[in-house]
Structure 1
Amino acid sequence: MPYLENMLPGPARRAPAAFAHRGFSPAGHENSMAAFRAAVAMGYGYLETDVRTSADGVLMVFHDETLDRVTDGHGPLAQCTAGQLRQVRIGGVEPIPTLEELLAEWPDVKLNVDVKDKAGMPLLAELIEKYSAHDRVLVTSFSDRRRLGVFRTLTRPAASSGGVVSLTALAALGRLGLTRTLGRAARMQAVQVPVRYGRYPVVTPGFVRRCHRAGLAVHVWTINERTEMERLLDLGVDGLMTDRADLLADVMRERGFWPQRVRP
């Protein structure tokens, strides 16, 4: 999958991917164009984001079900039209972007898109087709049904990470030699997981080895401390997602993996 081949400029060499989780904004303006621009200007080539569907069928870049936590609006996003949502401000400052805006802004930046509602499945597929973005979008969701629903109308494959059910099965049964079988059955090329589920450790040396033998990339979320970034990179993971894009950029730079996007 081209999405997973994070090749740096210059002589061909592959690097672990750095994902700016909802962009980068010390002011807390997550999932805003300003936050994404800050991450891209810093050198990020991968942006993680979420999408929800407006009342009139537009994919909006937004994480929560309701507007209250991060905007000056109130109530469920799904009950508002795109026009109404454009009047809402993240942190009282930034408008809520559409996914189409994000796709159009940087044709060379790769997006990790978490589909938050059923209505978003065909809409995401339509945008991937419109922008020929199959090689620069990874589709994921906590719901395997939503995730797989996106692929029904795609004319060619896009990368994907499993939902809760498929990832739980892979983590639990991988030691039985079923990692490759489960990965193929769940139609995923990457596993995007936390370091642990509750008290159960997920990202162990054995887990990483099993995934790599099965051809699956391992992306870990959401890592905001330097020591943990260093430990996971030493373990051989293929990508890290972080709210501290500034800190992860420093860690990657020290390892010779930065920038991951060179501005034209």
Structure 2
Amino acid sequence: MRLRYQLMIPAMMAAMAVQAQSIQLDNHAVPAGKKGAAAGKLYDRQGTVLKSAKLAQDTSGLFTISKGQLKLKKNAKLSNDPASFKYAVTVENGGAKEDFIIVRDDFHRNKIVAHRGAWKNNGGSQNSITSFRDAVRIGCEGSEFDVWLSSDGVPVLSHDPHIGGHTVEETPLATLQAVQLKNGDRVPTFEEYIQEAMKQNTTKLVLELKPSKTGRGQELAQKCMDLIRKYRCEGWMLYISFDYDICKKVNAIDPFAKVAYLNGDKTPAQLAADKIWGFDYNWKVIDKTPGIIADAHKNKVTVNIWTVNEADKMEAYLKAGADYLTTDEPELALEKSK
């Protein structure tokens, strides 16, 4: 009986973590220069609009809540000041309070996602802070990166399950960060990546949550979402995974998270039924499935295609209506997206 109780504790804690956010916001960004622009609607855990929610704190003095919608005041608009693009607010409803950061929406709309950052034609290592900075510098809409759990439970970046001769999931963070990468880079944590990303508001983070061979996929998703909530960086985030249960876990924690599935074995209708925001399929899947892009849009599912490195394919997929292209050649793709 005691053993059974002990086994129940992790499941109970996970369930409690999923339910931690009592007030949810469906969008965290506001465009500049538009008076009275809306950030998003406020909901409870059951998906009901919180029409009685109130603004408990707003240091900018720019926001209000009307009929459950967080928005700028009637005559207020965000400035274009490059040094000021984050706005902290606290929302109250029935005694519950939640903090949010609203980001001014200057994010690019060119459809190009740098695969593991912009590393191939620059000096940085894949999945490094340097390659992310280069993706921002050249103007990508998104920068994709891969995250695993270290053996001591820290979300850490690496594309492959091994790095520097170490198995990521079996190695503590300190050992992983001692690995020497190209150009003086080191293996970053997801937390460090968030901190870097929030210094700008033009390139989004595309977080790939890696399937776990040690059975810790759900733990990885929870810890990443906990960090996102800690920094209140939802406005910067997109999510992808080959593990469908991880996709659903992220959605369970944040029903408004923009989550795309990578594996290629679900139809747009199946994704829509599970409230998965999009698919991010390999170009071979796209080529073998005529009409899948149109079918996705019919089901209100977004389309990302990986890894598209050839100019003719970039042109074809953009013409066909792809919402995003993930590429190792972001400079070339940016030219094609014009």
Report the TM-score, using the length of structure 2 for normalisation: 0.61
Match of 1:187 in 2: 275
Could you tell me which residue of structure 2 aligns to residue 34 of structure 1? 130
Taking the aligned partners of 1:184 and 1:234, their CA distance within structure 2 comes to 23
Task: Establish whether residue 247 from structure 1 lines up as the match of residue 332 from structure 2.
Answer: yes
Tell me which amino acid in the other structure corresponds to 1:238: D
Partner of 1:168: 265
Q: Looking at secondary structure, tell me which structure has more helix per residue.
A: 1
1:124-180, Cα deviation, whole Å (9 max, x unpaired): 1101211223232222211111222234434x521111253xx4130xxxxxxxx44
Determine the C-alpha separation between the residues in 2 that align with 1:97 and 1:194: 26
Q: 8 Å contact 1:16–1:238 — kept in the other structure?
A: no
Structure 1 position 17, deviation (Å)? 1.5
Residues 35-66 of structure 1: per-residue CA shift (max 9 Å, x gap)? 11111111123111110111111111111111
Q: How does 1:1-264 map to 2 (within 5 A)?
A: 15-26=109-120, 29-67=125-163, 73-91=164-182, 93-107=184-198, 108=201, 109-116=203-210, 117=212, 118=217, 119-154=219-254, 157-164=256-263, 167-170=264-267, 179-180=268-269, 182-197=270-285, 201-202=288-289, 204=290, 206-252=291-337, 255=338
Q: Note closer, same or farther for the CA distance 1:163–1:250 as it changes in structure 2 (3 Å cut).
A: closer
TM-score, structure 1 as length reference: 0.77
* Separation (CA, whole Å) in 2 of partners of 1:185 and 1:133: 27
Q: Higher Cα Rg: structure 1 or 2? A: 2
Unaligned residue ranges in structure 2 (runs of 5+): 1-25, 33-79, 81-105
Letter aligned with residue 259 of structure 2: S
CA positional deviation for 1:92: 7.2
RMSD: 2.9
Deviations 1:102-140 (A, max 9, x none): 111122231111111313111111012112232322222
Confirm or deny: 8 A CA contact 2:114 2:326 kept in the other structure: yes
Distance of aligned partners of 1:59 and 1:222 in 2 relative to their CA distance in 1, 3 Å threshold:
same
Structure with more relative contact order (C-alpha pairs < 8 Å, separation 6 or more): 1
What is the aligned residue count? 230
1:194 partner amino acid: N
Tell me, in whole angstroms, the C-alpha distance in 2 between the residues paired with 1:201 and 1:15. 28
Counterpart-to-counterpart distance in 2, 1:42 and 1:140: 23
Tell which deviates more after alignment, 113-122 or 49-58.
113-122
Cα distance change on mapping 1:153 and 1:214 into 2, 3 Å: closer
Deviation (angstroms), 1:246: 1.6
Larger strand share, 1 or 2: 2
Instruction: Decide whether aligned partners of structure 1 residues 16 and 41 sit closer, same or farther in structure 2, where only a CA change above 3 A counts.
Output: closer
Question: The residue matched to 1:135 in structure 2 has which SS?
Answer: helix
The separation in 2 between residues aligned to 1:240 and 1:133, in whole angstroms, is: 23
Report SS of the residue matched to 1:95: coil
C-alpha separation in 1, matches of 2:262 and 2:310:
25
Aligned residue for 1:140, secondary structure, equals: strand
What SS is found at the alignment partner of 1:169?
coil
Deviations 1:222-243 (A, max 9, x none): 0011111111111111110000
Mapped contact 1:135–1:159 kept (Cα < 8 A): no
Pick closer, same or farther for the CA change 1:250–1:97 going to 2, 3 Å: same
Q: Report the CA distance shift for 1:104/1:244 in structure 2 as closer, same or farther (over 3 A).
A: same
Amino acid at match of 1:201: K
Secondary structure of the equivalent of 2:145?
strand
On the 8 A contact 1:134/1:157 being kept in 2, the answer is no
The Cα shift of 1:28 comes to 7.1
Q: Which ranges in structure 1 are unaligned for 5 or more consecutive residues?
A: 68-72, 171-178, 256-264
**Separation in 2, partners of 1:16, 1:39:** 13
The 3 A distance-change label for structure 1 pair 6 and 232 is farther
AA of the residue aligned to 1:96: V
Q: Percent identity?
A: 25
Q: Distance in 1 between matches of 2:173 and 2:167?
A: 13
